[in-house]
A and B are shown apart, each in its own frame.
Chain A
Amino acid sequence: MPTEETRIGVFVCKCGTNIAKVVDVPAVADYAKNLPNVVYSGWQLFTCSEEGQTIIKEHIKKHKLNRVIVASCSPKLHEPTFRRTVMEAGINPFYFEMANIREQVSWAHMKQKDEYAEATQKAKDLVRAAVFRASQLESIGSTTQTVPPVCMIIGAGIAGITASTLLADNGYEVHLVERSPALGGKAAQLGFVFMTDTCGVCVPPKHGEMARKCLSKRVLLNDPKIHVYTQTEVKQFSGYIGNFQAKLQTQPRGVNINTCTLCGKCIESCPVEVPHELDLGLGTRKAIYLPFPQAVPRAPVIDFESCTKCGKCAEVCPVNAIELNEPPKNTDITVGTVIVASGFDVFKPDGLYLYGEAPNVLLQLALARMMDPLGPTNGKLQRVSDKQIPKHVGMIQCVGSRDPNYYSHCSRVCCQVAMKHAVYIKEHWPETEVTIFYKDIRLQGKEYERYYLNAKKLGVNFHRADITNVEETTNNGLKLAVAHHNGSKEIVDVDMLVLSAAMIPAEGAKELAHTLNMEVDLQGFFREYHLKLAPVDTATNGIYLAGACSSPRDIAEASFMAAAAASHAAIPMSKGEVEVDLAKSVVDETLCIGCANCYGVCPYSAIQMEGGVAKVIEVACKGCGICVVECPAEAIQLRHYRDKQIYSQIEGLLANVGVAKK
C-alpha cells in the first residue's frame, strides 16, 4: 500500500462565547497553520452546527484533507457527530481527532481573567498534540455479529417471569433458568403483596389480554417459546453477544413432572420431616414435598439431602413417577442475549434483637408466611411459642439496612411491608396493638401513601426511635429499651417482635457474577452500566439486568425493569445482528507468549486462548485497554490507542517545552 501524504485540516470552534470568551480562537487557528502536515486551519462560531459541518466537508474536498481535527468540546459530546461528518465526506471515522479546548481549557480558566493568555497557549498545545497524533492514526473498519433470537433469563422471580413472557410474546425463544424447584421467586412466598393486596404469584397480563395470569395456571410451562429449567444453575458461561454459551446443570427432582398427578400419596407416606425453609422455621415439610400449594411445576420434589431413600414414596405412587436415582443433568445452550434476574435474599440478623434466640422474634418474611392463607398457620396471626394471638406486636425497621455495620443502602420495601402487615393485623385482630419503631418512613411509590394514612387511621403506633436493648421475659414476651429520637427513653413490652431486615444480594450472587464476568457494587449487587443512562445494561454487551439483583426494588419496579430489560434485549435480537467497530485490542501473535494474563483480566470475556496465543473476540471487546497494560510481552495494542499514537501525542504536547525525546 503506498503511503499517502498526510493532509490535516484543523477546525477551531468558538462555541459561541463558551470558548471564545477565554481563548483567542483565531490565534489558535493561525498557529495551527504552521504545524506539520496541516494544510488548512480555520475557525467557526459553532462547528457542530449544520453549517459548521458543511464547512468541514467543503474543506475536505477543497484541500483533499485526509485527517480532520476539531478543537472544541469533550469528545464525549461531539466525537460521534464529527466522525459521522468526516465519514459522509469519505474519510474513515478514525481519521478524526478531537482537541478538547472547552472543558479542559476555557471552562477550566474562565473565572481567572489573568489566565486567559495562558489558556490560549494551552489550547495551542492541545491542538499541537492532536496534530502530532493525527498523523499516526490508522483507518479502522467494522464488522457484524449475528444475534439469534434466543434469550437466557436467569431467575424465575417476578422480574424473570415478566421478561420471559414479554420476550416470548414478541416471538423470541426464552430459556428460563431457576435455581429453586418452583417458579415465582420471593414473591411466591409473600402470600399477598402491597399496593394491590393480591396474591404474590400473579404475573402481569400478557400483551392484549386483561386477564391476570396466575402461575398456578401453568402459563409458562405451556408456552412453546419458553423453556423452563427448575433446580438449575448456570455452571459455565462464555462467549459474547450473539454467541453466549451456557452450561446448565439441573439437579434431579426425583419426580417425573409429566406423569405425576399430584395425588399427594408420596408426601403422606414419607417418614422424614424437616423444617420448611420457605416458612423460615414456622412449619415443617417432608423430604418429598410440594414447595408451596400453588407451586409450578405441579409436582412434588425430593430433597435428597434429607431423603433416606427408604422407597416408601415409590411404593405408593400409582403412576410410577418417582425416580430415586436420577443423576444431575447437563444442558448446553447457545443464546444471543442474557437477562439476569437473580433477585435478592433477606438479611439474617443473627444476634440482633434476640433473632434466632427468642422464639417470638421473627422476620417480616416469616410474618408474611403467617399471613398467607395457604401458609403454615393458614393466615392466622400467632406467637411461635404458644400459638396465642399476640396482644402487642412490635416492628423494628432498618434492621441491617442504612446501618454502617451491615449494609449502608436503604432496602426500599421494608416501610411498605411493615405498613402492609400492620394494616392487615389491625383489620383482622383490631384489639392487637401494633407499634412500628422507625428511623425514617420512606413511602414514595404510587399509592403507597394511602397505606400510611390507613395505618395511622387504624391506630398503628409510630415511634421514631432506636431499640437499644431487647430482653426476653418469662412468658416469651420481649422487653424493648426504646430510645426516642426526641431524647426520651422508655421500656415497651411486646408479645411478638418483627424485624424488617435488609434486602441483600442473593446467595450465590458473587459466584454468578464471577461466572458471567459481571461487576458488583460495594453492597454486592450487580452493577449496571450507567445508573441513569443505562440502568438495565451491564458492562458486557448483550447481558442485561432486571429486578432486585442490581438494587433493592419492589414488585412494581422489578416489573418495570423486566420490561425495560426485555426491550433492550430485543434490540439486537430483532435486528438479527450488531455492528461493531474494530477500535479494539489486537494481538501480535508473533510476540504473544500465551501467559493468559489478558485472558484473566479481561472484564468482558473478550479474550480466548487458542493454540497457545491470545485471540481477541472483537465483538466482545470494549477497548478498555486493561489487557494492553497487563501484557508482559507488550504483544497487545489498542487499534485507536497504539503506543506510537499516544507517544506522538505526548511528543506534540511537550514539543514546545523541548523535553520530548522519543
Chain B
Amino acid sequence: MTVRIATMGMAGCSGCHIALLDIGVKLLDILKDVELVYSYPLVDTKNPIPPNIDVALIEGSIRTEHDKEMAEAMRKQAKFVIAFGACSAHGGVNGLANVFGGIEGVEYVYTKTILMAQKLVPSEHVPQILQNDLRLSDVVKVDFIIPGCPPNPDEIASVLTALLSGETPVLSSKSICDECPLERLTEAPTKLRRTHEVPEPDKCLLSQGFLCMGPATRAGCNAECPRRGMPCTGCRGPSETVWDQGVAMLDALAAMEEDEISGFKLPRLAGTFARYTYASSKLDNLRKGVKKE
C-alpha cells in the first residue's frame, strides 16, 4: 500500500525541504512506499490540493491570509499533519518580527529601509499580511512536530520510516545536554561571554559563561553545535517538560550578578532566548508591557 504524502511551504526559506532531500540515499528506500501527491518545491504544481493525503509536512510559519487558507485546506485533506521545522513548529526566526509589533514592523521594512524604493506597503496582488507571525498549530490542529532549523535529516527519516510502518513517531523528551559530550562542570556561570570568545575545549559552554540554550532545548540533533564549540541557539524549541524555552533559560541566569544580565533589553532578550520560539513564547507578554511606556 502506498502512502500519500504532501509537502507544503509557508513563510520559510525552504531549508526544511532541502533537509528532506538531504536524507540522501535513504530517501530512496522511503520513496519506495510513497506517492508524493503534492509538493511545491519538488513538483511544479498549481493544482488544488488532492484529497486523501496520509501525511502532510508543512514548512514555514503562518504570516499571510494565504498561508492560513492553504494550511486549512491541507488540514481538510490530510489525516496526519506534521509541523515541519522551527518556523512551523514554534514560529521560527520570522516570529521575532512580533517583537516590533507585528504589522508595524512590516510597515517599517517597506517604508523606512533604503532598499525599498517605493516606500509603500504593497497591498495589491499580494495576500493580506497577518497582524502577527503564527506557528502552524495556531491555525490548524497539528499531529506531530519535527523541530529544528533546519530539521536533522536523520530525524526526518526516522519519523517518516516510523509512519510508513504504522508506528507512532516519538521525539526525545530530554534536552540537548543529554546528547552533549562536553564535560559538565558543577558550577553555574558567573559571567557571560560573547560567542566570538574562544571557549575552553571539551568543557560545558554554559558553565564557561557562553549562552548555550542546550538545557532548555529538545534533544534529537546529537548536540551538533555545542560539540563543535558553538553554543546551542535553541532551534529545536523547548524540551518536553520545559514550559517556555526562553523563560526557562532566563530563570536559569537569574542568580547571576545584575550587571551581567541587565544589558538584555527586549529585542536582545527575544533574539537570544527565544530566537526560534518568540511567536509562541511567553516573552511576548513583555512586548505588551514595553509598548505601554
Contact = CB atoms under 8 A, between A and B. Distances in A.
A635 B255 CA distance: 17
B249 interface: yes
A297 to B, nearest CB: 39
A634 interface: yes
Contacts of B177: 593-595, 633
Interface of B: 173-175, 177-178, 184-188, 204, 206-207, 214-216, 239, 241-243, 248-249, 251-252, 254-255
Nearest to A588: B241
Interface stretch (A314-322, A370-378, A624-632): A624-632
Interface stretch (A277-285, A553-561, A597-605, A649-657): A597-605
Contacts of B204: 595
A590 B241 CA distance: 11
Interface string A584-614: 0000101101111101110000000100100
Contacts of B186: 594, 596, 599, 609
The 9 closest A-B pairs by CB, nearest first: A593-B177, A632-B215, A600-B188, A632-B252, A609-B186, A594-B184, A596-B186, A634-B241, A601-B255
Given A595-B177, A595-B204, A633-B239, 13 more contacts: A591-B175, A594-B186, A597-B252, A599-B188, A600-B187, A600-B255, A601-B255, A630-B255, A632-B215, A632-B216, A633-B215, A633-B241, A634-B239
A632 B249 contact: yes
A597 B188 contact: yes
A346 to B, nearest CB: 31
Nearest to A599: B186
Interface in A564-598: 588, 590-591, 593-597
B248 A595 contact: no
Contacts of A591: 173-175, 239, 241
Contact of B243 (A590, A600, A635, A643): A643
A590 B174 CA distance: 8
Interface in A116-133: none
B220 to A, nearest CB: 15
A630 B251 CA distance: 5
A317 to B, nearest CB: 48
Interface residues on A, range: 20 to 34
Contacts of A590: 174
A595 B255 contact: no
A596 B184 CA distance: 9
**Residue in B188, B206, B215, B241 whose Cβ sees the most chain A Cβ within 10 Å:** B215
Contacts of A599: 186-188
Nearest to B255: A601
7 contacts: A593-B177, A593-B178, A594-B186, A596-B184, A633-B215, A633-B248, A634-B248
A497 to B, nearest CB: 42
A629 B255 CA distance: 10
A593 B185 contact: no
A630 B185 contact: no
Contacts of B175: 591, 593, 632-633
A631 B177 CA distance: 13
Nearest to B204: A595
Most buried by B among A590, A594, A632: A632
B91 to A, nearest CB: 18
A631 B254 CA distance: 10
Interface in A277-324: none
Contacts of B255: 597, 600-601, 630
A596 B251 contact: no
Contacts of B173: 591
Interface in A97-141: none
A172 to B, nearest CB: 34
A137 to B, nearest CB: 20
A601 B175 CA distance: 21
A612 B243 contact: no
Contacts of B243: 634, 643
A635 B215 CA distance: 10
B254 to A, nearest CB: 6
A597 B215 CA distance: 11
Given A593-B215, A595-B215, A612 B241 contact: no
